[in-house]
Amino acid sequence: MRIYQITDTHVAPKAHYTRDNFTRLMGFCRQDPPDLLVLSGDLTQEDADANTCEWMADHIPADLPHVVLEGNHDDPDVIERVFTNAIPNSFGAFAIPLDAVDLAFANTGSGHFPDEQLEWLQHRRLRENSVLFTHYPPRRVSGGYMDSNWALANQDAADAALRETRIGHVFCGHYHAAYSGQSHADSYVLHVTPSPAYEVDLASLERQLSRARIPVQVIDVSGAEVRAGVRYLDQQQ
């Protein structure tokens, strides 16, 4: 099974390049379609209205199965109204069983990992090396600006809870940079997918931004094996 994760597109009415990036990303999905597309939050900016979300929904290939997660910049009411398969803020954790692992989804768009979703993940019989998609990283990444200013509110509790599950891979966004790694304490590999809107220097203690590329996290699941890597569309020949 092939999954594309796209995150933090930040499509905004006046930032035309964000629409161009999203159009190109959806063109890639049409050219080389995955089995599942996951849009993992911050689809829009705060000044975006329902028309922006409707424009995005219209550009997603109609026959492409997709899941939409909310981010901290999204309006939950608009997202849930326009994207009919968006995870609701109130609960929203669910899983899709594959042959040997499960794909789990949780909504951290509020900036807090809801206790009921963490309990659900802990008590559900997820299979070994299962995969979780969410917006916020559930643990610290680099100790830089994003960790200091934009971290998940209950990060320590979320990390501890996930270590008690059989989740082997967590895919998220929010930090606007590429990262993949596993701490000594963690039982899972954390994959942070970069944004096509702008990139953040994870190592800097200051807010250091740079022009983004156009990234897609490509995830291949074969049996219990999970392989992933970021592909940049603007670097393709």
The pLDDT tens digits for 104-124 are: 999 999 999 999 999 999 999
- Looking at the domain that runs over 2-235, which CATH code has it been given? 3.60.21.10
Would you say residue 91 has pLDDT above 60?
A: no
CA-to-CA separations, 109 to 72, 75, 97, 161, in angstroms, rounded: 5, 9, 24, 18
Maximum CA extent, the chain: 46
Provide mean pLDDT across the span 22-31. Answer: 97
pTM of the model: 0.95
Question: Which residue shows structure tokens 């999970």?
Answer: 226
Q: Do 9 and 18 contact (CB within 8 A), yes or no?
A: yes
Domain boundaries, the chain: 2-235
How many other C-beta atoms are found inside a 10 Å radius of the C-beta of residue 78?
Answer: 20
